[in-house]
Amino acid sequence: SDLAIGIHDLSFRTTGLVLSHTELARCNGTDIAKYHQGIGQRAMSLPTADEDIVTMAAAAAAPLVERHGTDRIRTVVLATESSVDQSKAAGIYVHSLLGMEPHVRVVEMKQACYSATAALQFAAGLVHRDPQEQVLVIASDISRYDLDSPGEATQGAAAAAMLVSADPALLELTRPSGLFTADVMDFWRPNYRTTALVNGKESIAAYLEAVEGAWKDYQRRGGLPLEEFRAFCYHQPYTRMAFKAHRQLLETCGAQADEETLDHALAATTGYNETVGNSYTASMYLALAALLDDADDLTEQTVGLFSYGSGSVAEFFAGRVRAGYKAHLRGEAHREAIGSRRAVDYGTYRELREQTLPTDGGWYELPHETRGPYRLAALRDHQRVYEAA
């Protein structure tokens, strides 16, 4: 059918603390150029004791609910790989914090950094079935690697919330999708671990193989040719990865991959991720937010989106930017979320990493540290207690 379905509104939030790579490099003896140029990262968001994926998710989604109400939202999908419970969907806490009505289905999705894209496609299918319905899709993650490991410099945190609807104000999702799945152990986190395990070099190779695989599938299914795309939003575990990925895509097409071509396609997509760090499921959507917020007029232009989740599953798809989209953007609030984080020094960062939430089922009040609108207030009988801050 000709019904346009896609992203009607997009909002993200991050955590309250930030560690700069200058500070990290100063204390771990790394040449700062490795961080600033080599991986393209400048800072990483860190949570306060009373922030987690739920508080970030609710903070990201609240402005959407404020602007559009909840009447038409019949489904909430929260995508994460840093879940707080093995059974209960984190989205139910968000549904409650946002005061949504009970006639809603809420579910959590997981496949490493990819699952928000699965959620988006699921949402598009639901809206296609009933164009009156809106779906709230939230990607929320805190990425944590072992201290002093190569991955440490690529930590970060953010949540991106999207309202998916018919006749969207920002981005129309187009068909087909190019898909690629491979059973690889490039990055994973067993249930008993709080930090991810990663084979760094293998993860880069697996990501690049997925770029080629998903793009070829997209082409086989009648996707748009390379020349049609104005910009590309890649999953950005660190922002230089987008450059590696796009070079791979261009080479797959037999196209020239010089710096100017790469910059034209990517430069506007990295501004948020380079200072927030890896936000896993939210990362590609922060790239999209940066592009929409910061690029010159993109009206009716086509944007390529490449979503990658280790393990691995990848999807390449295209979106068309809608006329009048600029009136609906939230660039100022996004810059404020990033700019208002409190800087911590390396010592404080190491102390924060030692703090873990008790698991004995006792009653604990958490200190009020966040400046965000929602907080994890307490733990009681193995339950998490959230409240408006």
Interacting residue with ligand CAA among 2, 33, 148, 222 (CB under 6 A): 33
241 binds ligand CAA (CB under 6 A): yes
In the region spanning residues 265 to 304, those forming contacts with ligand CAA, defined by CB under 6 A, are 278, 280
In a 13 Å sphere around the CA of 175, the CA atoms on its Cβ side amount to 9
Known catalytic membership, residue 369: no
Q: Which of 39, 104, 253, 295 binds ligand CAA (CB under 6 A)?
A: 39
The reply to whether 235 belongs to the active site is yes
148 vs 381, which CB is nearer to ligand CAA?
148
For ligand CAA, the binding residue among 99, 125, 150, 347 (CB under 6 A) is 150
Q: Name the DSSP class of 61.
A: H
Interaction of residue 207 with ligand CAA, rule CB under 6 A: yes
- Report the residue from 213, 223, 237, 372 that binds ligand CAA according to the rule CB under 6 A: 237
Q: Specify the pairing of strand 5-13 against strand 171-173.
A: antiparallel
Helix (H, G, I), strand (E, B) or coil at 184: coil
Q: Minimal distance in Å, beta carbon 28 to ligand CAA?
A: 11
- Other CB atoms within 10 Å distance of the CB of residue 99: 10
- Residue pair 182/62 in contact (Cβ under 8 Å)? The answer is no
Q: Which stretch binds ligand CAA (CB under 6 A): 30-38, 99-107, 166-174, 352-360?
A: 30-38
State which residue, 244 or 335, has the beta carbon closest to ligand CAA: 244
CA separation for the pair 281, 218 (Å, rounded): 21
Among 180, 187, 215, 374, contact with ligand CAA (rule: CB under 6 A): 187
Instruction: Compare residues 218 and 308 and give the one whose CB is closer to ligand CAA.
Output: 308
Pick the binder of ligand CAA from 22, 26, 28, 31 (CB under 6 A).
31
125 in Cβ contact with 118 (< 8 Å)? no
Residue from 84, 107, 204, 385 in contact with ligand CAA (CB under 6 A): 204
Tokens linked to 355: 């703090």
Among the listed residues 107, 110, 62, 63, the one whose alpha carbon sits nearest the alpha carbon of residue 88: 107
Q: How far apart are CA 71 and CA 94, in angstroms?
A: 16
- Can residue 154 be called a binding residue for ligand CAA (CB under 6 A)? yes
Please give the helix or strand (H or E) that residue 192 lies within, else none.
Answer: none
Q: Which is nearer to ligand CAA, 156 or 168 (CB)?
A: 156
| Paired strand residues for 343 | 18
Query: Which CB sits closer to ligand CAA, 138 or 313?
Result: 313
- Site size with ligand CAA, rule: CB under 6 A: 26
Q: Indicate the residue type of 228.
A: E
CB of 195 to ligand CAA, least distance (A): 11
- Closest contact distance (angstroms) between CB of 298 and ligand CAA is 25
E strands, the chain, are: 5-13, 17-20, 43-46, 73-79, 105-109, 134-143, 156-166, 171-173, 178-181, 187-188, 197-198, 229-234, 302-309, 313-321, 342-343, 364-365, 374-380, 383-388
Distance of CA 111 to the CA centre of its chain: 13
> Among 388, 384, 349, which Cα is nearest to 370's?
388
End-to-end CA distance of the chain: 45
> Quick one: 241 or 268, whose CB is closer to ligand CAA?
241
Q: Per the residue annotation, which of 81, 152, 274, 315 is the catalytic one?
A: 81
171-204: b (≥16 Cβ within 10 Å) or e: bbbbebbbbbbeebebbebeeeeebbebeeeebe
Q: Which C-beta is closer to ligand CAA: that of 232 or that of 238?
A: 238
Which residue has the CB atom at the shortest distance from ligand CAA?
38
Q: Least Å distance between CB 5 and ligand CAA?
A: 27
In the residue annotation, 253 being an active-site residue is answered as no
* The one catalytic residue among 235, 246, 274, 315: 235
Residues labelled catalytic = 81, 113, 235
Instruction: Catalog residues that contact ligand CAA under the rule CB under 6 A.
Output: 31, 33-34, 37-39, 113, 150-151, 153-154, 186-187, 198, 200, 203-204, 207, 235, 237-238, 241, 278, 280, 308, 310
